[in-house]
Amino acid sequence: MHICKKSSTFAAANYNWYMVNDKMANHLLVIKDLHASIGGKEILKGVNLVINEGEVHAIMGPNGAGKSTLSAVLTGNPAYEVTSGEVYLKGENLLEMAPEVRARAGVFLSFQYPVEIPGVSMTTFMRTAINEKRAYEGKEPLSAKEFLALMREKKKLLELPDKLNNRSVNEGFSGGEKKKNEIFQMAMLEPCLSILDETDSGLDIDALRIVAEGVNRLKTPQNASIVITHYQRLLDYIVPDFVHVLADGQIVKTGDKTLALELEEHGYENL
Amino acid sequence: MKISKGDIFDRVFINEPGLNLHIEQEAGSQVKIVVINLENPTSPDLEISNQIFIEQLGEGCQTEVYALAFLHGEEKVTTETHVLHAVGGGRSNQLVKFVLDDNARGRFIGDLKIAQDAQQTEAHQTNRNLLLSDTAEMRTQPQLEIYADDVKATHGASTGQLDESALFYMQQRGIDPKKARQLLVNAFMKEVLNKISDETIKENLLNAIDSVIEEA
């Protein structure tokens, strides 16, 4: 793992920028000097980050620092404009891909506010998504039987009820159910890069435990997660390899899991 | 047409331009009408008009009117409903939906009248419209006349576009935007199609709109 922040004293130390350039494809995700804005207002002001397979990165920071903007930009949300910088997923130019192609290539966002889709059942939604991904990978679509068996298996992981299949996507779900449903979808789609945007917000302790256990069980040496959170609490359950502090559109500090505890104690003001 | 005491009239009308129904309900009768316009079977220049007049003349009647129009090109459909509660203890529910693409024109005239003697009436009228293009146009004219005081009546009308946040959510799961739009449009239409009692007709219509997704 490298933190690439050209201007900060931290990153300059042992960082060889050109090596990363040469070996872009050796990393799961490389973000280089990323600038992005919404409605003409610049939110990300030069984010640099390298993520390798098997790693869990926490991104913390005060409200308005750009945490959710980063997840929106990585997934291609059309409300945001990338003004400069580069992002590579396994060496491929991520920013040139349409949002649905990024998803099929393995980028998954657990939304901070999952969207309700009345009239579209979880079965229809998930089956369409899975088969789009399989087509992208050159695989045959799943049969109805195979698909339902997969649904059953993954629902257990999140302790979701059987009746989920026929319910409309997120419609009338409680806050906890919505977040469990996000991780359920993550389990179904098996992404290589998961971005968990404030997954802990609005969760009671039991739901938090189930969600975190789900995430932990989905961890493999081949995938990685970005855990965006305001509080340290979630990181008791999902232990990060690296903690980054995002403030005013830049990563200003990087450390291990103890950094999260420090932030909890002293806040962001002293950075 | 008279629906006799306690009888049930349950019908679906699919692509019937010029539909003109006049129904008088006797006490305790039940009427359920579903009107579907999924394509214009004749000339695209023809303005289709569906007119439905229902009068509850006996006590304790039940009336359900559901209508769906999915229009493209230059198609024009006007759906008119006139529901009269002349006597008390009756119930009526109306749900009218339009999906308008291209230069299509939709018009809903919803006339609901609760006479002075029609106490303890429960009446609902809902009109929801989805515009898929900037040039499609919807006109909604609800008209409620309520002369009785002990009634429960609601009405609502809204016209909007597809939910962008739902579209992005689906795209983020790898779903092609065209297919995502189709899923949302179908979900919108299914609320009406699901009201059809005849399982075969319902399945055929649901399959017809779903096959559009498979082709997308």
Query: Which residues of chain B neighbour A78 with C-beta distances below 8 Å?
Result: 168
Cβ–Cβ under 8 Å, residues A191 and A53: no
Cβ–Cβ under 8 Å, residues B111 and B92: no
For residue A165, the model assigns a pLDDT of: 86
Lowest mean pLDDT among A7-16, A20-29, A132-141, B154-163: A7-16
Cβ–Cβ under 8 Å, residues B88 and B57: no
Return the domain boundaries, chain B: 2-161, 163-216
Letter for the amino acid at B61?
Answer: C
pLDDT for residue B210 is more than 80:
no
Chain B interface includes A33 (CB < 8 A): no
Q: Do B175 and A129 touch (CB under 8 A)?
A: yes
**Who's near A49: CB < 8 A, 6+ residues apart?**
A3, A4, A29, A30, A31, A57, A244, A251
Return the domain boundaries, chain A: 54-78+98-266
Q: Which tokens hold the place of A201?
A: 């917000």
Letter for the amino acid at A56?
Answer: V
- How close does chain A come to B59, measured CA to CA in Å? 35
CA dist list (Å): A23 to A16, A28, A201: 11, 11, 37
Q: Which tokens hold the place of B1?
A: 């047409």
Query: Which residues of chain A neighbour B183 with C-beta distances below 8 Å?
Result: 117, 120, 124-125, 128
pLDDT for residue B81 is more than 80:
yes
Chain A residue closest in CA terms to B165? A115
- Tell me if residue B176 falls in helix, strand or coil: coil
**Who's near B136: CB < 8 A, 6+ residues apart?**
B71, B100, B101, B102, B103, B104, B105, B106
- How close does chain A come to B214, measured CA to CA in Å? 10
For range A147-170, the mean pLDDT:
90
Instruction: Tell me which residue in A75, A117, A126 faces B172 most closely, judged by beta carbons.
Output: A75
Q: Which tokens hold the place of B198?
A: 């005849």
Interval B181-196: pLDDT, tens = 999 999 999 999 999 9
Which residue, among A237, A241, A243, A238, has the nearest Cα to A261 in the 3D structure? A243
Chains A & B: contacts with CB separation below 8 Å = 72
How many Å apart are CA B115 and CA B102, to the nearest integer? 41
Interval A187-221: pLDDT, tens = 999 999 999 999 988 888 888 999 999 999 999 99
For residue B35, the model assigns a pLDDT of: 97
Task: Find the chain B residues whose C-beta atoms sit closer than 8 A to any C-beta of A.
Answer: 163, 165-166, 168-177, 179, 183-184, 186-188, 190-191, 213
Q: Which tokens hold the place of B87?
A: 């006597």
Q: For the residues of A179-224, what is the DSSP string, one character each? A: HHHHHHHHHHH--SEEEEESTTTT--HHHHHHHHHHHHHH--TT-E
ipTM, 2 decimals?
A: 0.90
Letter for the amino acid at B5?
Answer: K
How many Å apart are CA A17 and CA B199, to the nearest integer? 65
Query: Which residues of chain A neighbour B174 with C-beta distances below 8 Å?
Result: 100, 103-104, 129, 132-133, 136, 189
Which residue, among B123, B93, B127, has the nearest Cα to B108 in the 3D structure? B127
Chain B residue closest in CA terms to A115? B166
Q: Do A189 and B179 touch (CB under 8 A)?
A: no
Chain B interface includes A98 (CB < 8 A): yes
Instruction: Tell me which residue in A100, A115, A126 faces B166 most closely, judged by beta carbons.
Output: A115
pLDDT for residue A24 is more than 80:
no
Q: Quick one: fold of A54-78+98-266?
A: Rossmann fold (3.40.50)
